[in-house]
Amino acid sequence: VSFGDVVPNRIHLPDIKNSMFPRTFNGSSNSRIINGEISKMFSRPYQASLQVLYQNVLHHICGAVIIAPDVLVCAAHCLVVYPVEWLRIEVGSLSLTSNASVYTQFLDVESVKPHEDYRAIVNEEEVFPNDIGLIFLKRRMTFNANVQPILIASPFQSFDNEICVISGWGRTYYGSPKTADLREANMRKWPYQQCQDVHQEIGTSVNKNQICVKGESDDGLPPGACQGDSGGPLACGHRFLLGVASYVFDKCSVEDPSVYTRVPGYYTWIIESIFQHSFPQ
């Protein structure tokens, strides 16, 4: 068994990968923030690590985002690979290898709910549509200075051309091992048509619930997402959740955009799913 990233389906379009972070169109599977900075304590309290417990060892596979004491949002492709009994959540940590801090909590997963219309498909009409899901915990986490929920952005906020922040424990360059430290990077959110145009150049298409972002840098080294960051947050404005990491272009090139599922487009689905869920007493 191999851990560390969720492996995406192999596809035939030359430039797309979908991994356990952003998967890449051509089929690789691990992601991490390229050319990003190490996050500071308390800066990303909504960030969680989705892990697999195998032979008494926890393995990070994806990011996840806290939206309630017992609910997290993630990418669907992170939730359809391993049995739910193997899944764990770690919150409150900046490093996944050092000793747990006073803020760290490890939580058992009660169930997961990938979106019913998620499809691991890449064709001329669509790329990994509806790549979003929910994680329900067996017990509530305790909020503290480094464990806090994030608000979902309004469906009426576009954030076009604004600077947003991505974060995760994915790879720092294509083919590298996963990083132990949480990293983050500034990304500019593209307007929808710009995102559509770059996809049509390679023979496919995106929908209004998919977002392209590209790194911003002052030192000539633009950041980007890579494998291992899947399911992690795209936060805009004053800590509003706009997206979760879905896929990247081939070999995590920082010259290409990273693509996120637009969370506000699924607000009704999220609320209805939480309302219908039977939480443990």
Q: For the chain, percent helix, then strand, then coil, each to nearest 5? A: 10, 35, 50
Q: What is the pLDDT of residues 21-61, one digit of tens each?
A: 333 433 333 334 666 789 999 999 999 999 999 888 888 99
Q: Look at residue 74 and tell me if it is in a domain.
A: yes
For the record, the structure tokens of 202 come out as 């390679």
Nearest partner of 67 among 115, 163, 137, judged by Cα:
137
Nearest partner of 177 among 17, 44, 3, judged by Cα:
3
Read off the CATH number of the domain in which 129 is found: 2.40.10.10
Residue with tokens 């983050």: 184
DSSP strand pairing (240-249 vs 151-152) = parallel
Q: What is the pLDDT of residues 88-145, one digit of tens each?
A: 999 999 998 877 789 999 999 999 999 999 999 888 899 999 999 999 999 999 999 9
Residue 163: φ, ψ to 5° = -90, 125
Q: Look at residue 81 and tell me if it is in a domain.
A: yes
Q: Look at residue 15 and tell me if it is in a domain.
A: no
pLDDT of residue 35: 61
Q: Look at residue 105 and tell me if it is in a domain.
A: yes
Q: What is the pLDDT of residues 223-271, one digit of tens each?
A: 556 655 899 999 999 789 999 999 987 656 667 888 999 999 999 999 9
Beta bridge partners, 185, equal 166
Residue 176: φ, ψ to 5° = -80, 165
Q: Look at residue 35 and tell me if it is in a domain.
A: yes
Nearest partner of 13 among 169, 201, 161, judged by Cα:
201
For the record, the structure tokens of 213 come out as 């972002």
Q: Look at residue 108 and tell me if it is in a domain.
A: yes
For residue 251, give the 3-state DSSP assignment.
Answer: helix
Residue 140, domain extent: 20-281
Task: Give yes or no for residue 150 having a pLDDT over 50.
Answer: yes
Residue 258 CA to chain centroid, in angstroms?
11
> Domain tally for the chain?
1
Q: Look at residue 207 and tell me if it is in a domain.
A: yes
For the record, the structure tokens of 132 come out as 């979003």
The number of beta carbons lying within 10 Å of the beta carbon of residue 198 is: 18
Task: Give yes or no for residue 186 having a pLDDT over 60.
Answer: yes
Beta bridge partners, 68, equal 71
